[in-house]
Amino acid sequence: MSEDKLYPLNVSELIEHARNNERIARTLFEIEVEVMNLSDCAAFFDRLTDMVRERFALDDVWLVLSNIEANARLAETLREQGALNTILTVATVDLLRLVENRREPVLVDELARYRQLIPPTSRDRLGSLAILPLVMDDRIVGAMILGTRDRERYQPGMEFFFLHQLAVKVSIGFSSVWAREQLRLLATRDALTGLRNRRDLDLALPQELSRARRYGQPLSLLFMDCDDFKQINDTHGHDCGDAYLRFLARIFISLLREDDSVFRYAGDEFVVVLPNQTYSAAQAIAERMEAHLQQVPFSWRQKALVASISYGIASTSQANWLNAEDMLRHADQKLYALKRERKAAL
Ligand SMILES: Nc1nc2c(ncn2[C@@H]2O[C@H](COP(=O)(O)OP(=O)(O)OP(=O)(O)O)[C@@H](O)[C@H]2O)c(=O)[nH]1
């Protein structure tokens, strides 16, 4: 995207200039159409940076996010969704200083000062940059950066009308894909623990079951419930109960594999879906969780509370479940049978 011929001197140059501008405008429109309907942030960002790099013959295009609190969720979402292109994180003060706190593109051909905005692998090969501030909710939250080996291509003081247009389109596009993403998160996540919620389990479990059937693989699930959770609330307060549930969620996630999923089913009940795991593997996981909770107490205001859970297992390696509800009900019944057994033994 070169906009260096601002005042052509003759008619043929003027026509060429107009044609060039038309080409750029068309390309920008094509990029906008292509990325407009992408529904997740990583797909939006990957497609956008690939297209900008290809269509404008750039050497590198990447995203920089400032380290403000609001970006942590965005960065995590991009990571979870497996964004393939480079994303750098920089301190907000540094970013604002380097883009001079402006919402317009910054063109630079002296790169030393901007090193922290450039991926290490590109630092020694680029000659100039166009830094396009990314604005969300009226705040500069990052930048999309266009890098080229050509030192002449982006120079301070150059006209940047189309780059500015691109920056605005990127900001609007990113804001709307992120808003859609957050709506989806609100609908599928439990607000207290950040785990997937029951509604998401209702969608995911039938899919996992039919996938397991199709590929002839086992599928197991654990239905888990905290023991005497009401007593924790009653003795230490609701805040402690909330923190305890968040603690459990972190422990469960840390002990599971990437393919496994944990859901908060209700109050103090959790469901773990274990694709490709047999009954005995599920049993081993549940025992590992119990043992871990015995060893790592939850600490609340200098007190160590030992969390304990009961669980029930349902597995396709034991029965040929016709549907997800039956499987879930079976695991729930097993859980309560174990609870009764444990209480009777006290
Ligand atoms: N702090 C907190 N408490 C919750 C939340 N959701 C549900 N609860 C409480 O969880 C408690 C669950 O109590 P019970 O179902 O009797 O379970 P329990 O005390 O663990 O008893 P057993 O399951 O028989 O061991 C209730 O007191 C609910 O008020 C929450 O989000 N935060």
234 lines ligand 1 (CB under 6 A): no
- Which amino acid residue places its CA nearest to atom 6 of ligand 1? 267
238 lines ligand 1 (CB under 6 A): yes
Residues of the chain with CATH 3.30.70.270: 196-345
- Which amino acid residue places its CA nearest to atom 23 of ligand 1? 227
Q: Which of 224, 228, 233 to mutate to test the pocket of ligand 1 (most atoms within 8 A of CB)?
A: 233
Report how far ligand 1's centroid is from the alpha carbon of 277 (Å): 29
Report how far ligand 1's centroid is from the alpha carbon of 241 (Å): 8
228 lines ligand 1 (CB under 6 A): yes
The total number of residues shown for the chain amounts to: 346
Q: What is residue 125's predicted lDDT score, i.e. its pLDDT?
A: 94
CATH class of 11-186: alpha beta
pTM metric for this prediction: 0.67
Q: Which of 195, 229, 339 to mutate to test the pocket of ligand 1 (most atoms within 8 A of CB)?
A: 229
Q: Residue-wise pLDDT tens for the chain (346 aa)?
A: 555 545 556 888 888 888 888 888 888 888 888 888 787 889 999 999 999 999 999 999 999 999 888 788 888 888 878 888 888 999 999 999 999 888 999 999 999 999 999 999 999 999 999 999 999 988 999 999 999 999 999 999 998 999 999 999 999 988 888 888 888 888 999 989 989 999 999 999 999 999 999 999 999 999 999 999 999 999 999 999 999 999 999 999 999 988 899 999 999 999 999 999 999 999 999 999 999 999 999 999 988 988 889 999 999 999 988 899 999 999 999 999 998 888 888 7
ipTM over 0.90? The verdict is yes
275 lines ligand 1 (CB under 6 A): no
241 lines ligand 1 (CB under 6 A): yes
Q: What is residue 278's predicted lDDT score, i.e. its pLDDT?
A: 96
Name the fold adopted by 196-345: Alpha-Beta Plaits (3.30.70)
Helix axes 161-188, 11-36, angle to 10 degrees: 0
Q: What is residue 8's predicted lDDT score, i.e. its pLDDT?
A: 54
Whole-angstrom Cα distance, residue 274 to residue 257?
A: 9
Q: What is residue 49's predicted lDDT score, i.e. its pLDDT?
A: 94
Residues of the chain with CATH 3.30.450.40: 11-186
